[in-house]
Amino acid sequence: MAEPSDDELVALVMAGRDKRAFGVLVRRHEVVVRGLLMRLCRNHALAEDLAQDAFVRAYTRIDSYRATGSFKSWLCRIAYTEFLKSARKRKSADRALDRLQNDAVEDSAPPADGGARVDLDRALATLKPDERVCVVLCYAGGLSHSEAAGVTGFALGTVKSHVKRGRDKLKAWFERKVEAA
Amino acid sequence: MNDNADTARNEEDAFHTELEELFRRNEPQPQPGYAGRILQRVSRPERVRYAAIGGAGALGAAVSGFQLRQLLENQTLQFSGMLGEVIAFAGPQSISVALMAASGLVLAWVLPRRGF
């Protein structure tokens, strides 16, 4: 029997607060949401907390989901909002995004998988905050440019140029790293 | 010129694929029991918060209901037309009860949609 689609599961949750259906959605999107927040926060513990908050928020706000876009992009928007809220709580959104740029290495749990993750986070730290957000949404979240535009509220052209510029910077960063090695 | 453009595009595509792979390798591992923990959280309402909000709401309703009755009983206020007829017919207490019931219904409709 075919797996139910996200929209079918959402309909079950909406109809009767079906927790089992929501559990399937959580399992299906857990990695994307946690990965997205880890790349945005680069603080393992904070990202895990925010991911849990995002799922709880998604459950309580499930009635506001409209199947005009994918469930994943709706969930990513909630996760991104949780990230911004958390950033505002700490200082202000702008200063927190600047912090993303300045922090080179994660400041909580040690990396479990060695240098590759640190490399990626260091490379991402060289991007401007908006470029970083767009790159992370498209690559860690697997969103299309238009979905990323919907999540961030940026214009589609802006997202495209942020992603392109970000990718060029990352390419240059990795090339410099190879040359230096 | 075209060759240069093609080469640049090919390089870009290759790096795009490489970057996708890099992000994929850096994805967190699925955690056993993760969904269960989320479901526990959504099943466990924040009782203190709900009690505080409910208590404050009930207190506010009691105060406003009492004041509303007093307002409607106030002889100095002159109601005319349809409203005057309604007040004279139903009495201030019934009207305040009806208004409070309507407020309660609105709350009961709104709160579940706000996640309470």
Q: B58-86: per-residue pLDDT in tens?
A: 888 777 777 777 776 665 556 667 777 77
Kindly determine whether residue B38 and residue A117, on different chains, have CB atoms separated by under 8 Å: no
Distance from CA of B65 to the nearest CA of A (A): 31
- Mind listing the pLDDT tens digit of every residue in chain A (181 residues)? 678 888 999 999 888 878 889 999 999 999 999 999 999 987 888 999 999 999 999 998 898 888 788 999 999 999 999 999 888 877 655 555 566 666 545 544 444 445 556 688 889 999 999 999 999 999 999 999 999 999 999 999 999 999 999 999 999 998 888 888 7
Q: Chain B window 33-72: which residues touch A at a Cβ cutoff of 8 Å?
A: 34-39, 41-43
| Whether pTM exceeds 0.80 | no
Between the alpha carbon of residue A45 and those of residues A38, A50, B100, the distances in Å are 9, 9, 46
Is A23's Cβ below 8 Å from some Cβ in B?
Answer: yes
Query: Closest to B39 (Cβ–Cβ): which among A22, A116, A167?
Result: A22
For testing the chain A interface, which of B20, B34, B38, B41 should be mutated: the one with the most A CBs within 10 Å? B38
Query: Closest to A31 (Cβ–Cβ): which among B20, B30, B37?
Result: B30
Closest to A59 in 3D by CA, of B41, B107, B109: B41
Q: What is the predicted pLDDT for the residue at A57?
A: 92
Kindly determine whether residue A23 and residue B20, on different chains, have CB atoms separated by under 8 Å: no
Kindly determine whether residue B20 and residue A139, on different chains, have CB atoms separated by under 8 Å: yes
ipTM, two decimals: 0.78
Q: Which residue of B has its CA nearest to A143?
A: B20
